[in-house]
Structure 1
Amino acid sequence: MPRKPPIVFPQEQRLLSALGERLRLARKRRKLSNAVVAQRAGISRTTLYKVEAGDAGATLGSYLRVLAVLGLEGDLNQLGADDRVGRKLQDLALEPAPNRRTATRAKTAKSSSASNDEEPT
């Protein structure tokens, strides 16, 4: 019995549909038929239709096979390459947290040394 496709949020569906459309246009620019791309990718034409429709039920492997047939598999390296949020979180975790006791002692030491530097005349 086939599994149910995953729940896909509208924004994610728009992204998948846009990807499928770009793959369909890339196939047409190369003047390749559905049958040829499906055969070269080792998938059925039905699966290719799903990929080009942005179906969330199509496997990532199917998308990758179609990208490879179209010569676009290198584009997969760009996914997640610039992880700004992840790097920022990592940088924040690497910064030492200010220690309140040490900061309080430093302030106390500064104020006491400042009062010792003032000599009565």
Structure 2
Amino acid sequence: MSKKSVAIMPDTQKNLEVMGEQIKLARLRRNLSTELVAERAGISRGTLWSVEKGAPTVAIGTYAAVLHVLGGLDKEFTLIAKDDEFGRRLQDLNLPTRKRAKRSE
């Protein structure tokens, strides 16, 4: 089976690698083996290793499953794009302005 090719920006790749390392450290701090975490997450050990390397080809649901196994850390996904200041500014620029009819005298 060939690996999927994903076009990803270097900064995003670095972020995934940092996240993978943090997941690995969380597993190690809990003294959990790769076998146990993979089994509980319903994935193979190879997939877990890919998660811990920050592979962009791994589905986000797999990352969430591993984080859940590590003690409910998947709840942090709700913080993604929570404070989208740039997006809100763009939205505000496109908001229609209400125009009032002129008063008749």
Q: Report the TM-score range of the alignment, normalised by the length of the smaller protein.
A: 0.7 to 0.9
Higher relative helix content: 1
After superposition, the CA RMSD in angstroms is 1.6
Amino acid at match of 2:39: Q
Amino acid at match of 1:26: A
| C-alpha displacement of 1:2 | 3.7
Structure 1 runs (4+) greater than 3 angstroms displaced: none
Match of 1:78 in 2: 79
Once residues 2 and 59 of structure 1 are traced to their aligned partners in structure 2, the CA distance between those partners, rounded to angstroms, is 16
Please state if 1:55 is matched with 2:55.
yes
Structure 1 residues 1-121: aligned runs within 5 Å: 1-2=1-2, 4-70=4-70, 71-94=72-95, 96=97
Matched residue of 1:81: which SS? coil
Amino acid at match of 1:30: R
What is the CA deviation profile of residues 56-111 of structure 1, one whole-angstrom value per residue up to 9, with x for unaligned ones? Answer: 111111101101111201101001111111111111212539xxxxxxxxxxxxxx
- Give structure 1 stretches of 5+ with no counterpart: 98-121
Match of 1:107 in 2: none
Amino acid at match of 1:76: F
- Taking structure 1 as the reference length, the TM-score comes to 0.74
| C-alpha displacement of 1:5 | 2.3
